[in-house]
Chains A and B, each alone.
Chain A
Amino acid sequence: MIETRGLRKSFRTGRRRKSTTVEAVSGLDLTVGEGEIFGFLGPNGAGKTTTLRMLATLLPPDGGEAVVAGADLRTAQAAVRRNIGYVAQGGGTWDQVTAREELVMQARMHGVGRAEAQTRAAAALDAFDLTAYADRHCRTYSGGQRRRVDIALGVVHRPKVLFLDEPTSGLDPQSRAHMWDEIRRLRTEGMTVFLTTHYLDEADALCDRIAIIDGGGIVAEGTPAELKRGIAGEVVTVEVAEHAAKAVEVLAQQDCVRSAELREEGDLRLSVDAGETAMPRIMRALAEVGVELTTIELHRPTLDDVFLTRTGRSLRES
């Protein structure tokens, strides 16, 4: 549904003489299949929104190629626009217009006739649980309702591909869960959803496939499970009361332990292949040399560990 090759965009900042060029997106290769929820995970400023805006025809790329919903992004923008929906991070509704009026207008802007636009608006209101507030002005909506209006506006013309920029940013946990359900429902209707997020749990729970983007380029791509499996197994942390140096030495020699490092006084971080089987062996090995262990914990890798492995820093920090 979406295929890009070497997509690039840079911005000039500063005054003419002192201007510097910032590479926002540098040579992006992406393939998104039909009916997929594809997540673009990365810290702020990684190039997520820039990529999305390029794919949605809002920003001309500096170089590279892209085919979106079967149409060439550079030569057939009108055809791309017919087949996509785009929901910006901040949405975009007029305060003094109702959700129904906005939906009718949006469908009409996509070339739908008057009567048909009314029907589609009603259907979209129904699908997004908005009928009860449909005839109230947009400025009276709560954050969650407003976001649902935004997304309803993005799909009222039944696009093949829907672009969502940070769809749940700033929503409370309940509205977020609700929004995830809405997005999954769109997938069951056959829509391809391309979303950006900086929430690890969102990428993990909602997306079929994700690409981790940092500094304008993709650092990892795959299903969340693949990505997590791809990093060095699982992590076991062990805390010992004393003889930490000796413990590291002993544990590093165990077959089941890939690497062992002493992080702080008495706090060991072991990377292992399979945590469940490694834990009893670790405990036994320490008992044999007489090192007393106070706690032992198994950590399944998260997408943040994937990010950490690929970029050397945590997504939470950046």
Chain B
Amino acid sequence: MKTLRDTWLVFQRHMLLLTRSPLSILLGVAQPVVYLALFAPLLKPALSSMGADSMTDAYRIYVPGMLVALALGGGLYVGFGLLAELASGVIERARVTPVSRAALLLGRALRDVVVLVVQAAIIIVLAMPLGLFVHVQDLLLAYALLALITLSSSAVSYGIALKVSDPNALGQVVNNIAQPLMLLSGTLLPLALAPLWLRRVSDWNPFSRAVVGMRALFAGHTGDASVWQSIALLAAVAVLALAWSARLFARSVR
């Protein structure tokens, strides 16, 4: 109960901060929009291997992958914000209070989910004139999947930030985690083009499963096994990541 109340408290504070600097949401979505406009058109020939015959088909395959990349990549960089908060003393101030340590993490991770939901909405709306189409129930499931991805990636990022406690080192570590996860998830280029060994490796990447699930949802295949499988898998990943990070929050009494 206390953890829930405190999580809500921390979340409220961060939402307040978000409304005070709304530009940060738009800046986060700038890169995906550029990709949408400049990168996706290059993909039509590449995506033909996945059954894309037109630009519309290409967007229906590309945009879900990009949303996964946004949730994964955006989440992995939230640790920088935490380091700034650690430096400014606001976290230390919270740590002298009896506020739940897990709430300090959960409230922030939920804020990250809200940011992602807004960013994803912007991308989806922008992609609609290009031929993207999705049913409401599929969209809700897609959001659930994206929320789980964001919870995982931001929890991991906060955990790493607490471990390394240095922005330069955090950048290196995050890059080294994000790059292989992105490449092995088929978000940018489809893995159908990959050699067999690469596909076998990517089978072990939960985010690659998430991309498959997302594409099924945006293709309107709600009942596809990849949908519930990816949601279940990512739920497990999110729980593990949050548990790891919450333990670090509780322990590193800095």
Specify whether A and B are partners: yes
Tell which of B12-20, B28-36, B120-128, B172-180 binds the partner.
Answer: B12-20
Q: Known: A57-B253, A58-B254. Is A93-B96 also a contact (CB below 8 A)?
A: no
Chain B residues with CB below 8 A from A85, complex form: 96
Q: Would you call B90 and A94 a contact (CB within 8 A)?
A: yes
Chain A's nearest CB lies how many Å from the CB of B148?
28
Say how far A29's CB is from chain B's closest CB, in angstroms: 23
Q: Nearest-CB distance from B92 to chain A (Å)? A: 6
Residues of chain A lying within 8 A (CB to CB) of residue B92: 58, 88, 92
Q: For residue B93, which residues in chain A have a CB less than 8 angstroms away from its CB?
A: 86, 88, 92, 106, 153
The interface size bin for chain A is: 20 to 34
The answer to whether B90 and A81 have CB atoms under 8 Å apart is no
Q: Within the assembled complex, what's the spacing in Å between the Cα atoms of A7 and B253?
A: 18
* Interface of chain B: mostly helix, strand, loop or mixed: helix
Known: A90-B89, A153-B93. A82 touches B98 (CB 8 A): yes
State the CA gap A94–B87 with chains docked (Å): 11
Chain A interface secondary structure, helix, strand, loop or mixed? Answer: loop
With A96-B20, A96-B21 as known contacts, state yes or no: A106 contacts B90, CB within 8 Å. Answer: no
Q: Which residue of A lies closest to B86 (CB)?
A: A92
Q: Is the CB of A57 within 8 A of B96?
A: yes
CA distance A109 to B88 in the complex (A): 18
The reply to whether the CB of A91 lies closer than 8 angstroms to some CB of chain B is: yes
A92 and B253 alpha carbons, distance in the complex (Å): 16
B99 is an interface residue with CB less than 8 A from chain A: yes
B168 adjacent to chain A (CB < 8 Å)? no
Q: Is the CB of A105 within 8 A of B98?
A: no
In the complex, chain B residues whose CB is within 8 Å of the CB of A101: 16
User: A31-70 CB contact bits vs B (8 Å, 1 = yes)?
Assistant: 0000000000000000000000000111110000000000
- A109 and B20: CB pair below 8 A? no
* A157–B94 CA distance with the chains assembled, in angstroms: 13
Residues of B near A88 (CB, < 8 A) are 89, 92-93
Cβ–Cβ contact A106 & B97, under 8 A: yes
Are A97 and B98 touching (Cβ within 8 A)?
no
Q: Tell me the complex Cα distance, A108–B10, Å.
A: 10
Q: Give every chain B residue within 8 A of A106 (Cβ-Cβ).
A: 93, 97
Q: Please report which residues of chain A, range 116-144, place their CB below 8 angstroms from some CB of chain B when the two chains form the complex.
A: 137
6 closest A-B pairs by beta carbon, nearest first, are A92-B89, A96-B20, A109-B97, A109-B99, A86-B96, A92-B93
A-B contact pairs, 26 of them (CB 8 A): A57-B95, A58-B92, A58-B254, A59-B253, A78-B98, A82-B98, A84-B96, A86-B93, A88-B89, A88-B93, A92-B88, A92-B90, A92-B93, A93-B88, A93-B90, A96-B20, A96-B21, A105-B9, A108-B9, A109-B6, A109-B94, A109-B99, A110-B98, A110-B99, A111-B98, A157-B97
A residues touching B (Cβ–Cβ < 8 Å)? 56-60, 78, 81-82, 84-86, 88, 90-94, 96-97, 101, 105-106, 108-111, 137, 153, 157
